[in-house]
Structure 1
Amino acid sequence: MKVNWQGVFPAVTTKLKEDGSLDHDAIKSGLNRLIDSGVGGVVMMGMVGESAQLTQEEKRTVIRLAVETVNGRVPVIAGLAETNTASAVQYAKDAQALGVQGLMVFPGLTYKSDPRETIAYFRTIAQASSLSILLYNNPRGYGVDLTPDVVAELLKEPTIEALKEETYDTTRVTDLINRFGERLAVVCGVDDLVLESAALGAKCWVSGMANAVPRESVELLKLAVAGDYERARKLYRALIDLFHLDTHVKLVQYIKLAENITAGYAETVKAPRLKLEGAEREKVVAIVEKTLANVRALSK
């Protein structure tokens, strides 16, 4: 299956039992719920999926469960977040053998590579498999910026097809589309910039809060891509407080709590993260409940 970089691709939460082990049934159920809601693909073990906290065995188990459950209905993209090139290459090969359609590749973790090193890292991974590659560009989080000049070098690799744009600078969307046109799919990577990004030409969105509100997220992107901005703005405004939580350092806990409220899945996270409690938890619950009320009001 060739990846069509259009639609909502939730950065899927990794469902866990209370003891921190993988909850296989919940992982399968969650994927079916997202697909039934109309998503265009699923991204397993991005940052929201707690990739950096999972063991190598757990990562491969999640991939296997996703491929089996999705069964070709939408593309399965595996997050690739490793600390060294050799491990990244092996992961890419294993992910392809397990049947995914693409990789969302982070910069090498724990080291802020310079442009020459960055290009070499991504190129080596791209050459390790025939999978479609989504570059992950989040300089705030990882200290490495895939500038248009760096991207130009990387696009010499034919399997590098898309870039998850998370610089929080919407001018980058226009600059990338102007420079690379159809050669590069510019993918929104920030929930509270999705309408702005779609207005500038992005047609795909890797979303964290789509775990909690998948149908509404799918509808929002459809409206925006179709140019129905009046309706899109109303829905966006109803969702925006929830989407702001996607940009916080505790976005994993916030998204899992929101998903617990909307779909009943456990809030359990991998340490060193801990479940929310006290006033912080109450604040997030209030935002989720207000958002759901806002959405219900739109349908009246």
Structure 2
Amino acid sequence: MRLSGSITALATPFGAAGELDLDAWQRLLQQQLDGGTQAVVVAGSTGEAAALYDAEFDLLLRSAVEFIAGRIPVLAGTGMSNTAKTIEQTRRAAALGADAALVVTPPYVRPTQAGLVAHYRAIADDDALPIVLYNVPGRTGGDLLPETVAELCGHPRIVAIKEARVEAERMAALLALKGSGFAVLSGDDPTACRAMLAGADGVISVASNVLPASMRRLCDLARAGKADAARELDAQLQPSFDFMGVEPNPIPVKAVLALQGIGHGLRLPLLPLSTAHADAAATIAMRVRELEQACAAAA
């Protein structure tokens, strides 16, 4: 498997009473296919994985696999704070038809670098699915260092890393490890263009939930080395990226999705977007609509 381009970390639509909204889920999936998204992640942090029951994880993943029907890869977020539970969740995802697993560093427990090597090797050795490493220290409390990635990236079942740290130096260190069997993906929308112009293979994006055509075009331009055009589009996207950070993810992106008619809310302890940002959400929703129309026309 070679992952590249615009990959969406899908939000999970809920109904007004907090139940899964499968009709909205299918509309979101169709929006991704129509916009040219090149892979999707089900039940990642943007998908409120920690708030999902096992049966809901199964239903979301199974329905995504059936709906997408092989047109693009479907990744499942399977990372847990314990190795054995992560292996069990990855096997579960494989049985439901996922193409790969996105495995975050174990949240909260903060293992050593040697512990991370042992953790990821155990998951990869189990051979249930190809594994995408995921480093997001701001959420997990631990940092998967480039020298640790260097120990892992030669494993035949470890196929990529999603790196959410924003420093250009961190991306450069990871790009030195890129090869035919190991892709490097940005996990940060605001710096994804810079990362791809430096050689990253793509981005696993939050904003592409509502900007699938725009993010696909950004990826196409940046990966083709069309730096001026990519930077111009990136500049137009930055206000949307900024809005996605005004409150914890996925609160802002779900506010825009709700304005698009896809889902209603979140699950506690997350609350809907505060009223102080309501006008900004409406402005961004309008900007999103304009950008999507322009990028779809340019495709």
- TM-score for the superposition, normalised by structure 1: 0.92
Deviations 1:68-102 (A, max 9, x none): 11111100000113232222111111111111100
| Residue 249 of structure 1, CA deviation | 4.8
2:158 matches 1:160: yes
CA contact (8 A) 2:107 2:141 kept: no
2:296 matches 1:280: no
Count of residues in correspondence between the two structures = 297
CA contact (8 A) 2:81 2:106 kept: yes
Q: Residue 228 of structure 2 corresponds to which residue in structure 1?
A: 230
Alignment of 1:245-260 (within 5 A): 245-247=243-245, 249-260=247-258
Deviations 1:15-55 (A, max 9, x none): 11111111112112211220121111111111110011111
Q: Distance in 2 between matches of 1:24 and 1:187?
A: 29
| Residue 183 of structure 1, CA deviation | 4.0
Gaps of 5+ in 1: none
CA contact (8 A) 2:192 2:203 kept: yes
CA contact (8 A) 2:211 2:288 kept: no
1:13 to 11, 14, 26: 11
Q: Distance in 1 between matches of 2:30 and 2:36?
A: 10
Alignment of 1:170-209 (within 5 A): 170-209=168-207
CA contact (8 A) 1:191 1:244 kept: no
Q: Distance in 1 between matches of 2:287 and 2:154?
A: 47
Alignment of 1:136-151 (within 5 A): 136-151=134-149
CA contact (8 A) 2:6 2:216 kept: yes
2:79 matches 1:75: no
Range that drifts further, 82-91 or 195-204: 82-91
Greater relative CO, 1 or 2 (CA 8 Å, sep 6+): 2
| Residue 291 of structure 1, CA deviation | 5.2
Q: Distance in 2 between matches of 1:198 and 1:237?
A: 15
| Residue 255 of structure 1, CA deviation | 0.5
- TM-score for the superposition, normalised by structure 2: 0.92
Deviations 1:212-271 (A, max 9, x none): 11111111111111122222222111110111234455220101112223x321231111
- Identity score, percent: 30
Q: Residue 135 of structure 1 corresponds to which residue in structure 2?
A: 133
Q: Residue 94 of structure 1 corresponds to which residue in structure 2?
A: 92
| Residue 184 of structure 1, CA deviation | 2.2
CA contact (8 A) 1:190 1:247 kept: no
| Residue 118 of structure 1, CA deviation | 1.4
Alignment of 1:20-35 (within 5 A): 20-35=18-33
Q: Distance in 2 between matches of 1:245 and 1:200?
A: 25
| Residue 129 of structure 1, CA deviation | 2.9
Q: Distance in 2 between matches of 1:247 and 1:120?
A: 33
Whichever residue aligns with residue 172 of structure 1, its letter is: R
CA contact (8 A) 1:92 1:128 kept: no
| Residue 181 of structure 1, CA deviation | 3.5
Range that drifts further, 6-15 or 246-255: 246-255
